Chains A and B, each alone.
Chain A
Amino acid sequence: MEPRSRDEDLRKQEPQWIQQALLGDTEAFVELIELYQRSVFNLCYRMLGTLEDAEDAAQETFLRAFHSLRQYDPARPFATWLLSIAAHYCIDQIRKRRMVIFSLEDLPEPEFASHDPPLETTVGIREDQQKIQQLLKTLSEVDRAVVVLYYWYDLSYEEIAKTLSLSVSAIKSRLHRARRALANSWLKRYPATFQEADRKGYESPVF
């Protein structure tokens, strides 16, 4: 998670808020939402690719979390528990969407983020971010979740495995496969950029 001192202070009150939320106090749960909304939203955005879908998925994640708060194990960080709910929800959404697309036969897939407001004005996403979203889209839903949790959340293999209900070795092999796929899609999309890098490869140490 992002190191922010204000959040650190707030996090100390977390167990108390969870206790109150368990008794049905939505105000206490809202405090938890304030604390983790960015974390959950970012995961949903990276998984689903549009701000609209990310908003919906993040909202649903918090609804599900509130309803299943009794299943939360306090020994585990609350953040990763939330991320786990969000990741599973997004994976399900992608699978459902794919089924709809299959059933609609040959309907062209809508252009990525095409119906969103200009991204720069809302969240300040640079061109690189668009590139990343295009690349992530080429991965399978589970591989995408592994990559996002690894690169954006600095989670260990064990934590990612727990979050996605997979084994550590499965996470390692998925990450490996995803990286290869990402590099290959990058090559396919931006072949021109490598004439320069190609030459540099001779001179500079590469590892």
Chain B
Amino acid sequence: MNHRFFEERLFTDEPLTAQERLFLEQHLRSCERCRTLHAAWQETQLVLESAGWVAPRAGFSQRWQKRYVQREARTQQRRALALFVINALLAALFAFPVFALVVFSPQPLWLRVVIALYNLSALVPILEGIYTFLFTIIRATSQLLTPATEAALIAMFVGLTLIWLAMLRKFSARRVTC
């Protein structure tokens, strides 16, 4: 039996057989190196097993809550910044063609304004169409309804608008205090 076998058995949790135990004790008597190592391990084990738990300073969980709030705020700031950067990039992406057209167009500015207004005039028939459409709908419904239900509907619409405005005000007020 050699040092290696001794060390193998010294540091393991596996139980020893009676024979192994006898061998090891014999080796220990004859070998100073293993005897010293064994004694050192005994001491180390004693200290390891007697070591208690080290507790944090009082108020650990309050400090955690503080850290949590700070971390959340930082995450939100970062998110907001990321959103802003993405929006700015997208805006730039869309604005660039317009910008390029204005800068590289051969016509003078006043001419381009006139052309633009002329082009926009093509929308007039569409607006007219929408107006006719809405007017027809309103006229048709008013023919179907009695004056009393019409008045009730208008009152309901006004009421809903008021509620909506009140909620909008409340919501924006809360956002300010945040």
Contacts and interface: CB of A to CB of B under 8 A. Distances in A.
Nearest to B51: A132
A41 B44 contact: no
B68 A63 contact: yes
Nearest to A203: B29
Chain B interface size band reads: 35 or more
Given A128-B47, A201-B35, A206-B25, A123 B54 contact: yes
A186 B51 contact: no
A178 to B, nearest CB: 9
The listed residue with most B CB atoms (<10 A of its CB), out of A41, A131, A135, A186, is A186
Interface string A196-207: 011011100111
Interface in A28-87: 30, 33-34, 37-39, 41-42, 45-46, 51, 54-55, 58-59, 62-63, 66
B44 A182 contact: yes
A26 B56 contact: no
Given A41-B54, A180-B11, 7 more contacts: A42-B54, A51-B57, A151-B49, A152-B51, A176-B12, A197-B39, A206-B28
Interface of B: 7, 11-13, 16, 21, 24-25, 28-29, 32, 35-44, 47-51, 53-57, 60-61, 63-65, 67-68, 71
